[in-house]
Structure formats: C-alpha cells, structure tokens
Amino acid sequence: MSTTVAGGTATELVPGVKIPLIGLGTWPMMGEDAAAAVAQAITTGYRHIDTAENYANEAAVGEGIRRSGIDRGELFLTSKFNARWHSRPGVREAFVEATRRLGTEYLDLFLVHWPNPAQGRFVEACEGLQQLMDAGCIRAWGVSNFKPAHLQRVQAAGLRIPLNQIQVDPEHGQPAQLRWHAGQGILTAAYSPLGRNGSFLGNPAISGPARELGKTPAQIVLRWHVQHGRVAIPKSAHQERQRENLDVFSFTLTQPQLAAIDALETGAPPRLDPDTYFH
C-alpha cells in the first residue's frame, strides 16, 4: 500500500482497490441539499463520496448518485456505522441498513465511526468488518477517530487496519498520530481538511504559495494533504469550489513550502476526544 503520492489522483488502499485522494464530504448536508450537491459533484468529476449513518443523509446521497447517472462501478463510496452495531452480527446488520438507504449492493469502504472504548466492543466491530470484506460485501474496511491505543487493540486481534479517518488540518496536524499510522502502514484520511473556520488560510505559509502558483489557499492546503499521502475529504456544495478542490494534481509544493505549512501545527488536540465522544 503506497502512502506517498507525487502527482496521482488515487492510492492503493488494499490490494486491487484504489481510493481517490480527494473525496466529497457530505456532513452536515441533508435532504435535497445533499442530493443536489452529490449529483453536481459527480458531474464535476468527483468519484469518491463520503457519508455516514449519523449524518442522516445516506438516502439523499444515494439519490444524488442515481441522479448523476454514473455507473456504480466508477464510484468509490464510503459510509460509517454507529456504536449500537459494535458486534460481529451487528456490523452485518449495519451494512444491510446502510446499503438499503443508499440503494447500492455493496460499499467500497465501511468504517467504524467512533471506537467508544467504554463500551469495549470496537474490536468485535472490526472483526465483523473483516468478515464482510471476506464475503465480498465491501471492498475494504477501516476505522475513524481511533487513537493509537485503540488501533493497537485491533491489531492484537490479528487484523490489519487499512485506513483511519481522523481530523487533520494545518493547525491540528496530529503529527504523533500520523507518524504512528505511517509506521504501521495505515492510510490516513483527513476529515475537516480545511479546518472549521479557515482562519489559517490567510497565513503567509498558505497565501504566499497561493499567489505564486495562481491557486486558492484551499487548493494549497488540499495539495499539502495529498502530497503528504493523505486522503482529504472537503465538504462543499458550491460547484466552483468543488471544481477547485479537485484541481490539486496539476502543481506541486516545494519541500520548504510543505515544511512551512507543517509548522502551523499548534499542538491542539482534535475537536472531539475519541476516548469520551461517540455515537
């Protein structure tokens, strides 16, 4: 599994399965807004759509996919399930419900949304995901918001974790977590890759390369993610911003430029603590 990217638009997740490095985040869009944004994004060129049970928009995402007219085999579709399903049979039920809402027969990637360590059943959930993959119901599985301690418990059960989706942006870089992922061959997917308020987009480390390269600050940050080998899942319903978010493979940041953005790291933890927050 490659975790470094020079200029490609996808990377290998598990043997034979490539994940597009830029996906469309769909939270908190719902209903017609979500359906329209997904259909528009696919028409614009997106081939990776990210949703979740807790977003309450899987049916709308499915409608957007159908509305786009795309062949299902051309799309990489990710969803996530909640803690109520944390058991081997529960994961299968979660899969049945998710695919029913989405209107698809399979998922490309299915994730445990939060570990909920107090419940103590996330390892069983991962075992259930591996069973789904072995049965051909999903093409790959992974986790979301897992700390290294949680990941180690899954690995101790004999499972290899392909991907962990976590909050990463220039101010919340989670360098220790990312180093751990790299050492274990776990691909990182970044949600909220442009931050929540975007205040850092005006920093010279980002605005400078944007001016030099004729790109937007958001494009610079997304290029920073993918050039570090991460999947990035920005949310946008605006067609021009969707188009810009995809257009990050025609230029390259220099090592000094990457290092300057790396240096924006504040040491702040993720917005939500996976040891205590879950759904």
Q: Please give the pLDDT value at position 199.
A: 87
| pLDDT at residue 26 in the model | 98
Q: What is the pLDDT of residue 4?
A: 39
Q: Which pLDDT band holds residue 253 (cuts at 50, 70, 90)?
A: very high
Which band of pLDDT confidence, cut at 50, 70 and 90, is reported for residue 2? Answer: very low
- Whether the predicted pLDDT of 7 surpasses 50: no
AA letter at 100:
R
Percent above pLDDT 90 for the chain:
96
Task: Using the predicted structure, report yes or no on whether residue 3 has a pLDDT greater than 60.
Answer: no
| pLDDT band at 1; cut points 50, 70, 90 | very low
Averaged confidence pLDDT in the chain = 96
Domains of the chain, residue spans: 10-262
pLDDT tens string 142-198: 999 999 999 999 999 999 999 999 999 999 999 999 999 999 999 999 999 999 877
Which amino acid type is present at position 48? H
Q: Which two tokens stand for residue 153?
A: 């418990």
3-state helix, strand, coil in the chain (%, to 5): 45, 15, 40
Q: pLDDT above 70 covers what percent of the chain?
A: 97
pLDDT of residue 5: 42
* CATH code, residues 10-262: 3.20.20.100
Residue 196: the pLDDT is 85
List, by residue number, the catalytic residues: 55
Q: Please report how the helices 31-44 and 239-246 are oriented relative to each other, as an axis angle in degrees rounded to 10.
A: 40
| Amino acid 197: pLDDT | 77
What is the DSSP annotation of 112-173?
Answer: E----TTT--HHHHHHHHHHHHHTTSBS-EEEES--HHHHHHHHHTT----EEEEE-BTTB-
pLDDT confidence tier of residue 8, bands split at 50, 70 and 90: low
- Of 142, 107, 149, nearest to 231 by C-alpha is 142
Structural contact between residues 87 and 128, judged by C-beta atoms closer than 8 angstroms: yes
Instruction: Please say if the pLDDT value at position 276 is more than 60.
Output: yes
**Rounded average pLDDT over 240-253:** 97
